[in-house]
Chains A and B, each alone.
Chain A
Amino acid sequence: MTQVSTFKKKLRNNVTAYLFLLPTILVLGTFLFLPVFYSLYLSGHKVNLLGDVSYKWVGFNNFTRMAGDERAWIALKNTASFALFVVPLQTAFAILLAVILNAKLRFKNFFRIVFFMPTVTSSAVLSLIFMWIYNSNGLLNRVLEFVGLHGFNWLGDPAVALKAIMLMNIWSTAPFFMVVFLAALQDIPDALYESAMLDGAGGFRRFISITLPMIKPATFFTVVMGIIGTFQLFDQSYIFSAGSGGPNNSTLTVALLIYQYAFKNLDFGYASALAVMLAAVIMIVTLIQRKLFSEEKLN
């Protein structure tokens, strides 16, 4: 009797719980899991969705096709060099900003607002502002000429086009990670610094031996999120190159290539295969990082 009633109670509890979860499950299912599985399904097919819809199973053809796709390699190389350059710099820059704000400054709140501003602005708007700054007759070249350097055709020259996007990306994402570091910094007990000072450690030594190890979890988070973010770079290079990834493929990223194949060439099968490849690359890189960072136990 009691057993049945507890079972009933459990069942009722479960049903109620799932009822409440239902909307979320539906929304996540429709907009997250379904697309993921559909994309996996598409990656093994040759697909025509416009007009006469057809799916043709091609096995791993879409993946083997990548090996011979020159632009896929260029996109991967661009994306990797973007991540290699941007992630360390934005992390260092974020730590620097956080340390500055954590010091006992006057007008601290004012600076916090100013530093945080780029994060709040939409990246499309930022890209447009930066296009104006990078323009051959724009602000940046005027400043460079004023100090006696020669300017670049920032957007039209393959040699510097990607660097221009890198600079902008560092500038606009560092403040977000700054907030993460700021929170981590404020968690460090003052007592640690005091005892280190009593032992005669200078400012630099305290930074290396206390601050950096104590904010390691935050650094891990920043690097992982940074890598994911940079690997998914799309909007900035899309706007800068008007969707072409040019000049000479210099601003072509994997996400932009996926977009081009999916919506310009309507080759959804191959585009999905590229997306699966990108997801795999991000996963592998993240796992490697976890290995690297977990030498000293986290959590």
Chain B
Amino acid sequence: MKKKLVSVLLTTAMAASMLTACGSNGGSAEPAADTAESTETTAEEAATEEATEEATEETAEETTEETAEETSEDTAAAEDVDYGTGEIKIWVADNVVDFTKEQFDKFIEENPQFAGYTATVEATGEGDAAGNMITDVEAGADIYGFAQDQIARLVSAGALEVVEDSNAEKIKADNDAGAVSAATVGDTLYAYPLTADNGYFLYYDKSVVTDPSTLEGISEQCEAAGKNFYFEVNSGWYQTAFFFGTGAELTYDTDNDGNFTKCNSTYASDEGVVALKEIIELANTKSFQNGSSISSATDVAAIVDGTWDAEAAKELFGDNYACAKLPTFTGSDGKEYQLSGFGGYKLLGVKPQEDENKLAVCDALADYLASEEVQLARFNAVGWGPSNLKAQGADEVKADEALTALGEQLKFAIPQGQYPGDYWSLATSLGDSVISGEIPADASDDDVKKALEDFQTTCESYAK
């Protein structure tokens, strides 16, 4: 016991001395008298030095070697059509990994001049791709799929190569206009449109919701059945359904480098007030749940979600599966509005390359993966709605229920442009404030307007 106490005191004393005399001169004040010891320190520190230096030196050598190799390759490539060999790293969403592998093999079959290249396909979520690319562009994928809201961030981080001119013309002609504008930053086309199904609409349970045409009706029917109605109002993406629906605006202008130059917003207006008040009203209904992911939702009777969840929704609702465009709602001013929202796109990007040959292969591959046939094949494999106009016209695409509902909704939606990353977090804060009651259910028009004015000012501050 006593011994233990002594040791407690020792530690305390040690820590106390540490706290009172940080940065004291423990080592350097030692006089040179302690000679035997300092000799040994010399020997060992030298050894340490050795180890680190060796390691660093090695890497230095490697780097120089690499550069040397590259330069020689480059000069060779100028007059040769030999594309050499290499490895292309591709990042796509988990459910299309196998599909993309198959398509790569087909691509090589059709283009034997690229046979020296192999591909590794990794599952990286379209939301994560940008974050990972930006962490280390050089180690990132050569070709990667991403949701369009990331494009400005990727361009300003130098993670996207401009689409080659000849490809660009073809893409502009073949894809729907919204897709092209989604892939454009400033006036430059930076990515290959992959899908045009990044919008949302309503999935619902036929047995509970009999009339999906009005928001109020859906809420009531869900409530009556003790079921939940999911609408992710704390997401900058879903929230716009209300604001754009009443006619409020929020868009950004960008320059060619992905910088935001101007914010056009009319949220702090009567239209904005009607929209936010409707969100408040919805958030305070009993059946309301905030969310948009079918697999983490419980007791769902209706959910505002996108085509990527179509399979999950079919499984969940079984025979009662149904989908429709978003409902209308009666605003606080007594007028009736149709919910709007974003029509968004998934894009495929190519990373800037230090090797022109590899870039040529990547260009060709990205173009192939975004082509009409592959988009159609992808639709058949995993149900992603194509952005290619011809593929959109195909019979099987037209017959798809979810895509039809989305198509209906897209008539009211606004093609999604570029938004700064901060906007999404800010919108989440706005939504959270409504859900938490910080903006109360009985907020006056003035309070609501005040909140929107702050929101708009902050939005404007993101564009410099």
- A and B pair up: no
Interface residues of A (CB under 8 A from B): none
